Each structure stands twice: as C-alpha cells, then as structure tokens.
Amino acid sequence: MREVAIIGIGQTPVDEHWDKSLRELAGEAILKALQDAQREEVDALYVGNMMSGILTQQENLGALIADWAGLRYIEAVKVEAACSSGAAAVRQALMAVSSGLIDSAIAVGVEKMTDEKGTEITAALATAADADYETAHGVTFVGLNALIMQRYMYEYGWKHADFAPFSINSHLNAMTNPNARLHEIISEKDYASAKMISYPINLLDASPIGDGAAAVLIVPKDSLKPNHKPMITIAGSAAASDTVAVHDRKDPLWLKAAEISSRKAYQQAGVTPQDIDFFELHDAFSIMAVLSLEACGFADRGQGPRLGLDGIISRSGKLPIATLGGLKARGHPVGATGVYQIVESVLQLRGEAAENQLSKAQIAMTQNIGGSGSNIITHIIKREDR
Amino acid sequence: MEIPRHWRIRQQRYALVGEVCPHCNAKLFPPRDICPQCGEDARTPYQFSGKGEIYSYTTIYEPPAGFEEYTPYTVALVKLEEGPVVTAQLTDLGEQPLEIGMPVEMVTRKIRSDSDERGMIIYGYKFRPVLSRQ
C-alpha cells in the first residue's frame, strides 16, 4: 500500500445557488482543486452525492461531472453513503491511489438541494433512514435525532441549554469563513428561544441545508519531491457501519461505528485522541457532536456537553471543533459535507485558514456521519514537513 | 403507488409479527431472518403482545411530503416488553403529559393516505397510553 498526499483542494461557498446547477458546482470545485495542485488531469474521479436522483432527477454523476469538468474518458463513478457520501468518495479515491491501480484521483462531494421545496427535501433526507420501519411512520431525520437527544437528556440529566456552546461556537467560527452558509453571531438567549422543529431540537440545534461542492486531489506521496511543501498526508482512514434504524441499535445513545472507525484511524496513524490538534466533526445536530466526541474518546460516556461548557471546543481551547463553522454554520450540503471537512482541515494544516487559523495545526481529524449513525468515516490528516 | 411494498409487510403492520430465534430465543422485530444476537438463521414467526413503554418521544412540526395534513404528530421509540424497540406514532393522547417509561399498547390506525382520492390508505401500528382497567 502506498502512502497518499493531498496536493489540491477546492470548494464553492455553501449557499442557495439558484444560478448554478449541480454539474456547475461540482465543476467549479474540481477546477479549483486542479489549479491548486497545478495539474491538468487525473486518472479517476469519485463523486460523493446522496440525493441527485431524487432532487435533480439526475444519476450517473460520475460520467456527467467528469465530462463537464473537462475530464472526459477517465474512470468516474458516484459513491453514496447518505450524509457520509463525501468522506466515502475521499476514501474510494484514497484506496484507489493507495492500491497502486490509480496514480491520481479527485474526490468531489456535491449536493444541490435548494431547487426543491422544504417538504420534498425533508422526505429526500429521510431516505437515509429505514423506509419501511422508520420513514413510513412519518419520522423525519430531525425527528430521529430528537428521539436520541430526548433520551440522552433523560439518561444523563442534561438540560437543553447545556448544548448551546456547540451552536454558538460553530456560528462564531463561520463569521470569518467566506464560504460559510451562515454569518450570524448567536447568543445563549437566541439558542434558547429559537423556533422548535422537533422537541428538543430547535432551529439552532440543526444544521442548515444548502448547495455546494468541495474537492480534493490525491496522489501517492512517493510521486512528490521529498522536499514538497506543504506535505499533507492521510495518515488514517477507516469506515464502519451500523444498523440503519435507530431502534435496531443495541445502544441508541452510542455511535458504535464512530468508535470503531476512530479506533482504526488512530491505530493507522499511530496517534491517540490526545494527539489530535483539532476535530472537524459532524455537528448536523448538537446531539451528534456530543455523541461523536464521546465515541471517539474525547469525553466520557454521557459527558460530551462538558466539552462545550468548559470551552474546550473553541478555537483557543484544547480541542477546537468546527473551526470554519462546521455543519451548523458552514452548512450541510449533504453529500459534499465530508469533503468540506477535509478541505478545511487542509487549510488549517497549510496555515491558510486566515482569521480562523489555529496556532497549533499539525494533526487533524475529520468524521463524517451517514444516516443517524449508520455509516461513519474517520480520517486523520497530518502535516509532515514541519 | 407502491402497493406490493405495503402489502408485503402487512403481517408486521397489522399484527406486529416478528421472529423468534430458534437457537438463542431472541425476539426480533422487525423480522430480519438472521439473528443479530447469535448470527444463526431466525425465521420462526413470532407475534408480539403489543405492550411496551416509551423509550423516547418527540413531536414532528416539519413533516416530510405525504404527512403535511397530520402535523403536528408525535413519534416515539417504544420498547416492547419482549425486548425490541420500534419506531411508531403515538395516538389517542389525552390531557395526560407524555413521559419516558409510560406504558403503551399497540393499536391499528391509519398512518397516511395518498392525496389522490383514488390512492392508497396505509394502515399500521401506532401506540396509545394503556387504558386503565376498572
């Protein structure tokens, strides 16, 4: 197996891009990644996307986007793993390059959501849940997270207000990210009084949808000059699955797939949770951020909210999370999200995060969660040349 | 219209029929044919009592397409007395406030209907607070 390096990144702002189609968004991110890497071609394209068939009536995205981006004739496929489609595409690219079968690959995550109306988007998102035994009963994606959060609060005694720091932190970090969907400082009072969507989850617990695309270009590390700068490598990559339905889990309050994939990634990278400088986690809902922190070994079971309350997750804290806004405020263009997390991590590792730059950024971790925890992919990315 | 899809699981929707594992006696709902406890074949039908308690609950204010006319409605994770947890709507709720641990029982109700008047009406299980027995 060959070690791999990320030599190009690209992203579009997350927004309601009424003037841009799915292929234009993906093409823009790919072009930026190619320019960033100073390349003109790659051998393969992996497209992470969840809902193009439902919301855009367009499948076959591999060929569509390769052709649009000027990469006609290369190997190209779409990868789908619900909200973790983006990281799944990155992992496919990584496995292809690492195996030696492919010498350079782009993973692009893209989602076009805002052409449709709200109830249709809600129904499309719910296709990540069990259609016969969850969705058929009218439960939404927010609803499933609300069921988990309600039980979590009951078992561990937390109040809704205890989750506020996660939303406040993400909103604050997005203020200076030009690609973020939301630029709006929020207070504890705003958090407490936001519109209820599905008790206990209100509007400020939930990430906003949006259109967007992000891309990374991956090559073998040994194809680069030894003094290549910045040398950014993927040191750990692991995926795990769990039951699609929340009700089928042994413990609905524990993200087993996050535990398994993070443990494997730590082992591959030869690190422990204490070595991680920052964590781009999947804060689609406040409760998911909490459960992710616990399953990855950053907090004890039932104690995730403590990390928010103690300021550990802020940019100046011991474990900054959502450093450019996270899903909550950068936005959650579903199938693109996992690639945004990696692009943002690379910005931090390169020292290109501008006002959001962390003082210590040597080892990054990203985690992309599909469904309500059914498919979880963890990456550990290192800067090696300093 | 997707009639076979609903017809196929009528035993589950109308009668809460799951499976019991002949090897380790685990009760399974929904049926899944392979026992998650012991990994053996588990295809023996088993009818659940329909009794259980609320494991968690929430109210849906922003529905998916197809459920607009019923909003708001309450959805729960119900822990059946035989062990499995099911996702279902709660119904027949009176003034009594809901709480985790509240005993509930299965009833058959309309879940939704197609907006087209010639479309399907989908029935299935919901759960209501256990009626007090005088």
pLDDT digits (tens, 9 = 90+) for A216-242: 999 999 999 999 999 999 999 999 999
What are the residue numbers of the active site of A?
83, 332
Q: Identify whether the C-beta of residue A217 lies closer than 8 Å to the C-beta of residue A37.
A: yes
Q: Work out the burial of residue A278: count CB atoms within 10 Å of its CB; fewer than 13 is exposed, 13-18 middle, 19 or more buried.
A: buried
Q: Identify whether the C-beta of residue A294 lies closer than 8 Å to the C-beta of residue A303.
A: yes
Alpha-carbon distance of A96 to A89, in angstroms, equals 11
CA A18 to chain B, closest CA, distance in angstroms equals 22
Average pLDDT of span A343-365: 98
Task: Compare all CA atoms of chain B with the CA of A145 and give the residue at the minimum distance.
Answer: B58
Q: Which two tokens stand for residue B43?
A: 């295809």
Residue B133 confidence (pLDDT): 62
Measured between CB atoms, does B30 come within 8 Å of chain A?
A: yes
Q: With a cut of 80, say whether residue A54 has pLDDT above it.
A: yes
DSSP state of A359: S
Q: Identify whether the C-beta of residue A384 lies closer than 8 Å to the C-beta of residue A232.
A: yes
Summarised one tens digit per residue, pLDDT across range B67-99 is 999 999 999 999 999 999 999 999 999 888 999
Residue B69 confidence (pLDDT): 93
Task: Compare all CA atoms of chain A with the CA of B60 and give the residue at the minimum distance.
Answer: A198
Residue B118 confidence (pLDDT): 84
Measured between CB atoms, does B130 come within 8 Å of chain A?
A: no
Residue B116 confidence (pLDDT): 80
Average pLDDT of span A287-308: 98
CA A241 to chain B, closest CA, distance in angstroms equals 14
Residue A233 confidence (pLDDT): 98
Q: Identify whether the C-beta of residue B50 lies closer than 8 Å to the C-beta of residue B106.
A: yes
Residue B1 confidence (pLDDT): 57
Q: Do B65 and A120 touch (CB under 8 A)?
A: yes
Give the DSSP letter string of A111-156: E--TTS-HHHHHHHHGGGS-TTTTGGGT--HHHHHHHHHHHHHHHH
Average pLDDT of span A123-143: 95
Q: Do A148 and B56 touch (CB under 8 A)?
A: yes
Residue A46 confidence (pLDDT): 98
Q: Do B65 and A134 touch (CB under 8 A)?
A: no
Residues of chain A with pLDDT > 90, as a percent, come to: 99
CA B132 to chain A, closest CA, distance in angstroms equals 26
Residue B80 confidence (pLDDT): 98
Q: With a cut of 60, say whether residue A166 has pLDDT above it.
A: yes
Q: Which two tokens stand for residue A176?
A: 């200076």
Q: Do B124 and A119 touch (CB under 8 A)?
A: no
Average pLDDT of span A178-206: 97
Q: With a cut of 70, say whether residue A326 has pLDDT above it.
A: yes
Residues of chain A with pLDDT > 70, as a percent, come to: 100
Residue A362 confidence (pLDDT): 98
Residue A174 confidence (pLDDT): 98
Average pLDDT of span A288-301: 98
Query: Which of the residues A132, A137, A149, A154 would you substitute to probe the B interface, choosing the one with the greatest number of B C-beta atoms within 10 Å?
Result: A137
Q: How far is CA A251 from the centre of its chain?
A: 23
User: Going from the N-terminus, what domains does chain A have, and what CATH number goes with each?
Assistant: 4-117+209-223 (3.40.47.10), 142-204+231-384 (3.40.47.10)
Summarised one tens digit per residue, pLDDT across range A99-128 is 999 999 999 999 999 999 999 999 999 999
Give every residue of chain B whose pLDDT is below 50, as ranges.
none
